[in-house]
């Protein structure tokens, strides 16, 4: 039974995803990823398709965009899933997928879907507007630097 003193599972799921985005992406703490995910976590966006793949992307993005902020603009939760629309703003200060630092500001949108199990993230999917990101840093998207399903 839902009461004000006992948050619903949906509330717990949304709180976990919000904390994950804050602690991992905004604080650029790749080492925190395993604290949020199940032992058999599957990442459908990054390779390898486990916590180490997600952590590697956090590290690579943080190295290229050292002041990145990921602001959740919309959040929807249903059953074991949480979907977020995130606005990412940053300055391009490091190499990113063969694009040399430009110093340009980026302002792009990404969508993330999380499946949660036992108060941990069990699966993750992401869709990131890399075409806009590359235009904003003065680079051209190409098959060599694009996000592709592997």
In a domain, 2, yes or no: no
In a domain, 120, yes or no: yes
DSSP reduced 3-state for 25: helix
15-31 pLDDT, tens digit per residue, is 999 999 999 999 999 99
What six digits make up the tokens of 142?
């190409």
What six digits make up the tokens of 97?
């997928």
> Considering the chain, what is the average pLDDT of its residues?
92
Cβ partners under 8 Å of residue 74, min gap 6? 84, 85
In a domain, 49, yes or no: yes
Q: Above pLDDT 90, what percent of the chain?
A: 86
User: What total of structural domains would you count in the chain?
Assistant: 1
43-63 pLDDT, tens digit per residue, is 999 999 999 999 999 999 999
Nearest Cα neighbor of 104 from 118, 91, 113 is 91
CATH number of domain containing 28:
3.10.450.50
Q: What is the span of the domain harbouring residue 41? A: 9-136
What is the model's pLDDT at position 7?
64
What is the model's pLDDT at position 1?
47
Q: Which of residues 7 and 16 earns the better pLDDT score?
A: 16
């Amino acid at each position: 039974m839902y009461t004000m003193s006992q948050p619903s599972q949906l509330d717990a799921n949304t709180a976990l995803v919000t904390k994950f985005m804050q602690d991992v992406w905004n604080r650029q703490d790749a080492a925190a990823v395993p604290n949020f995910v199940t032992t058999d976590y599957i990442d459908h966006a990054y390779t390898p398709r486990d916590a180490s793949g997600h952590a590697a992307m956090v590290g690579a993005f943080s190295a290229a965009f050292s002041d990145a902020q990921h602001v959740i603009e919309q959040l929807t939760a249903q059953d074991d899933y949480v979907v977020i629309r995130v606005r990412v703003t940053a300055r391009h200060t490091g190499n990113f997928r063969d694009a040399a630092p430009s110093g340009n500001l980026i302002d792009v949108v990404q969508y993330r879907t999380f499946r949660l199990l036992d108060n941990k993230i069990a699966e993750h999917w992401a869709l990131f507007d890399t075409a806009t990101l590359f235009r904003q840093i003065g680079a051209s998207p190409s098959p060599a630097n694009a996000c592709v399903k592997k």
